[in-house]
Amino acid sequence: MFKSFFLLTVFLSFTNVVCAQKDSLTFDGTLSVKGAATYKYKIVVGLHDGKWLGYSLLDAAGPNETKTSLSVQFVKEKKAMAFAEKKLLATKSKEQSFCVVGGALKMNDKGSQVKGFFLGQDEQKKLCGSGTIKLSVPDKAKKLMTPDGTRDTNISAIVTNKKSESIRVENEKIILEIWDGGVEDNDSLAIFLNGVEIAAPFKITKEKRNIEVALTKGTNLIKIKALNEGDEAPNSARFMVVDGAARYPIVSFLRTSEDAEIKLKRE
């Protein structure tokens, strides 16, 4: 009883903050769980200190109506948005455990819809489902996902075991900065350049670790290998590729023994 009241109070106060934002955005559509049902799904976010924060609403007015806090990043140059649910705020469901979901959604050529895949994670940080999401795009959000010829360097590219990032660089030597942008939870990594280890296994901390990387002409492959998932899955780290005055932010999300790739192309 107390827990339900607390969750409802948090949700109402959080919702009021989001709704009070003049630049709030609402994405409406569906979430389809692979091998199971399709539900109504909505994302509502507002701009707070430079970050898009808000909540998701699953199965609105249905028996499993569930509200969860979440954050969104818009990636202009890729005509896409990435989202990640955080904490349960309120639910009508009788389920004893819950999945929080996250994924990347790409905008269609008409700018009317975003769609893509999601993965779910339960309270024990284990994978608990996957599927697809389709959402309508409000007019105010279209420009946030419309390429204009410039790289949106205040938005981090996301790399995973299935998703790499390609960057064109100008200098023979670049700096790779690595740190933990959230709570330090004992995540460990090893870094390789073209198959050769250039950073032995180390723990990611809030203090930035700088690695100078000498590049050859053509494509250079940096591989990020997760050695564990620390105290909280998944293994996550922040990177900055520093190419002279140019800076390219990247975030990695990996499971134990998985690796992600950053392709640096030097002409």
User: Where residue 150 falls among pLDDT bands split at 50, 70, 90?
Assistant: low
pLDDT, position 151:
59
pLDDT, position 220:
97
Ranges in the chain annotated CATH 2.60.40: 157-266
pLDDT, position 10:
41
Looking at the chain, which runs of residues are DSSP E strands? Answer: 25-33, 38-48, 51-58, 66-75, 80-91, 100-107, 113-121, 127-136, 157-159, 165-169, 173-179, 188-193, 196-203, 209-214, 218-226, 235-243, 246-254, 259-266
Q: What does the pLDDT look like over 184-205, one tens digit per residue?
A: 889 999 999 999 999 999 999 9
Q: How much is the pTM?
A: 0.56
pLDDT, position 185:
86
**Mean predicted confidence (pLDDT) in 156-177:** 91
Q: What CATH number is given for 2-145 in this structure?
A: 2.40.160
Mean pLDDT of the chain: 87
pLDDT, position 126:
79
For every residue of 133-172, DSSP letters joined together read EEEE--HHHHGGGS--SS--TTS-EEEBTTB-EEEEE-SS
Examine the pLDDT at 154 and tell me if it is beyond 90: no
Examine the pLDDT at 69 and tell me if it is beyond 80: yes
Q: Are 141 and 234 in contact (CB under 8 A)?
A: no
Q: Which residue has the tokens 């709030």?
A: 24
pLDDT, position 80:
92
pLDDT, position 1:
31
- 157-266 has which fold? Immunoglobulin-like (2.60.40)
Ranges in the chain annotated CATH 2.40.160: 2-145
